[in-house]
Amino acid sequence: MWGVILGILAVWAILRLINPSRKASVPKTELETQATAYPRSAYYRAWRSVAAVKQRYLLPESFTSVFGRVTRIQILILVIILGYLLVFSLVAIVYKTYITPVKGTNLFNTRTGMAGFSDRIGILAYALTPLSVLLSSRESMLSLITGISYQHFNFLHRWVGRIIFVQSFLHTLAWTIVEGKLYQPQPSVFQTFIAEPYIIWGCFAMLFITFLYVFSLRRVIQWTGYEFFKKSHYVVASLYIGACWGHWDKLYFWMLASLIVILLDLGLRILGIGLNHIGYTKSGCFTPAPATLRTFGTGSDTAIRIDFSHPSPAWKPGQHYYLCFPALSIWQSHPFTPSALPPISGATPRHTYIIRALSGETSRLATLSREIEGATTPVILTGPYGARITTDTPNLLAVAGGTGISFALPLVMEAAGSENHKRGLVQLVWVVRRARDLAWVQEEMGVLRARAAEGQGRFEVKIFVTREGGPMEGEVEEDEVVVIEAKDSEKLETVADVEDKTSEKTDSSLDLSALVGESRGFSVTYLGGAHPDLGTVLEDYIERSPTSGGRIQVMASGPAGIGSTLRSAVANCNDGKKVRKGDERSDVGLYWDDRFL
């Protein structure tokens, strides 16, 4: 089985190497007229036409009530795994029944193929354990080989774990029937069997895998909380591996491989924390990053902006860090995407994060933000994580829903300043609840607004406001926090008096009112309780993109509903026949950033 897995990974790596890139050279006359698509090689067009066909039929979601919001290609991979395991669980089993006498008694043993089948699926469960661990690793070797970010393996990790649970259950049930019913005399045979040390270890292993299955169900996670799930899953999975080793030590190498992957993943995480907070600091001591917090809105509309500067490895736009807030808990860390661009070489990185305050840790973070107004709070970061997202095509459509702007904003800002993207159309579509949500990234949106107004290259920003029917009338949230940068991270600075805060809020309101006004390449549309038709938005973008700009790349992040809509819309826009004839606008790709698949 692992020979097949390694073979597939090798083929995948080779395909990545031979993937043809689009030639950047385009005749100057065509750039001026943008009338016809520049002819590409037959090999490139054939490759991209296959990719377009794959996108059209395998990108949409199916059976969401069973599998959740995942693409058909992920379901197809799961079906292939299930088919492989089914075949090799059943082949070469002797499907006959033998009745043999028990020496010294008038009883008979019944021998069937059940014992062989039980052993077979038990061995397969052992062999699948390292794969399940690999699929769950944050420091993922699979990501290095395939170029796919680790979070996109979560779906397969869950289902491989469920397969192991079913195999373990059938293995236990089959041997219970054999030793408790088919072998005689009873109950002495079963009593001797159940008292064996390796059977006791097997019972513990079955108990642990049952715990892992039950407490990984979404409904149970909602009851117990994500932090309990994460920590208990880690501990009980290690206990399961140890119990499997004790149950049948002749297959120890599968468990050893699993433990090595777990320890390697943990070691690399610790090393990453050390590099971020010791290796890149001048003092050589462990130094958390002093961060300022600012809250926006109330209730379910509450959002938090985090800003800090800290020496750390450079990240690529779209990658994310795991942030830990010691003032809340040293045992929790959560993934967040920097909305700032990576630093220029030699500069100290400036981190900015936009977070929606929900329940749990983020809710307590919003409370902390109000409590420490004007001061800083320490942050421990690990990363960066995620695939290195590259847009080798000048046509980029970035779609963000709510705090998904953290993912889309740096991609758009990088593209807006890139010479490569001047030949295409770069567009940011941001769906927000209220116009005042633009204050989360007010300065950055001001820069993009100015860039769009310049008219240099083709760059546009479209804002859709879903819960308001018209322009805001200059109001600013009553509870908005004004943050004063602290010079000493260990001392609370004096908070500005009420008059200063009122004055600053008024200025902010005026700036925001100007920001949401109409401008060249920058529009704000109020939907009054509706949601934008992203399919129509995509079709309009494709229609207006230059024919010589190459294929279309959609980058998106936000609520799961946006991802489902875009998968369907992007799939419908792909046409392999047109791509083979040279129409690159019928080759539309989608990267959906989701760390909770």
Secondary structure E strands in 370-447: 377-385, 395-401, 425-432
Coil, strand or helix: which one is 556?
strand
Residue 81, both tokens = 């795994």
- The candidate with the shortest Cα–Cα distance to 1, out of 142, 132, 124, is 124
- Tell me the residue type at 48: R
Beta bridge partners of 458: 425
Q: Is residue 443 a contact partner of residue 410, using CB atoms and an 8 Å limit?
A: no
Q: Is residue 464 a contact partner of residue 532, using CB atoms and an 8 Å limit?
A: yes
- The candidate with the shortest Cα–Cα distance to 271, out of 313, 222, 325, 315, is 313
Give the pLDDT of the chain (597 residues) as one tens digit per residue.
788 888 888 888 888 788 776 554 344 444 444 444 445 688 888 888 999 999 999 999 999 989 989 999 999 999 999 999 999 999 988 888 899 998 888 899 899 989 999 999 999 999 999 999 999 998 888 888 888 888 899 999 999 999 999 999 999 999 999 999 999 999 999 999 999 999 999 999 999 999 999 999 999 998 998 889 999 999 999 999 999 999 999 999 999 999 999 999 999 999 988 888 887 767 678 889 999 999 998 888 899 999 999 888 888 888 999 999 999 988 888 999 999 988 877 778 899 999 998 888 888 999 998 888 778 899 999 989 887 777 778 899 999 999 999 999 999 998 887 777 778 889 999 999 999 999 999 999 988 998 888 866 688 999 999 998 887 544 444 444 434 333 343 333 333 343 444 444 444 455 777 777 778 888 999 998 899 999 999 999 999 888 766 889 999 999 999 999 999 999 999 999 999 988 888 999 999 987 654
CATH T-level assignment (fold) for domain 39-65+390-471+508-597? Rossmann fold (3.40.50)
| Cα dist from 78 to 74, 84, 190, 230, whole Å | 6, 10, 37, 24
Q: Is residue 558 a contact partner of residue 523, using CB atoms and an 8 Å limit?
A: no
Q: Where are the domains of the chain?
A: 39-65+390-471+508-597, 66-269, 289-385
Secondary structure E strands in 287-402: 289-296, 303-309, 320-324, 334-336, 350-356, 377-385, 395-401
Instruction: Give the H or E element holding residue 74.
Output: helix 72-90
- For strands 98-101 and 108-111, give the pairing: antiparallel
The CATH superfamily holding the domain 289-385 is Translation factors (2.40.30.10)
The string of DSSP codes covering 473-534 is: -S---TTPPPP---SSTTSPPPPPPHHHHHHHHHHHHHHHHHHTS-BTTEEEEE-TT----H
Side-chain-side CA neighbours of 319 within 13 Å: the count stands at: 20
Which single residue is written with the structure tokens 């860390």? Answer: 333
Which single residue is written with the structure tokens 């932090």? Answer: 227
- What distance in Å separates the CA atoms of residue 244 and residue 359, rounded to the nearest whole number? 37
Side-chain-side CA neighbours of 238 within 13 Å: the count stands at: 11
Instruction: Give the H or E element holding residue 220.
Output: helix 218-224
The C-alpha angle 160, 164, 166, rounded to 5 degrees, equals 115
- Tell me 61's DSSP state: B
With a CB cutoff of 8 Å and minimum separation 6, the contacts of 239 are 204, 208
Coil, strand or helix: which one is 310?
coil
Q: Is residue 508 a contact partner of residue 439, using CB atoms and an 8 Å limit?
A: yes
- What distance in Å separates the CA atoms of residue 227 and residue 234, rounded to the nearest whole number? 11
The pTM of the whole model exceeds 0.75: yes
Asked whether the CA dihedral 58, 64, 66, 69 is positive or negative, the reply is positive
Beta bridge partners of 552: 395, 588
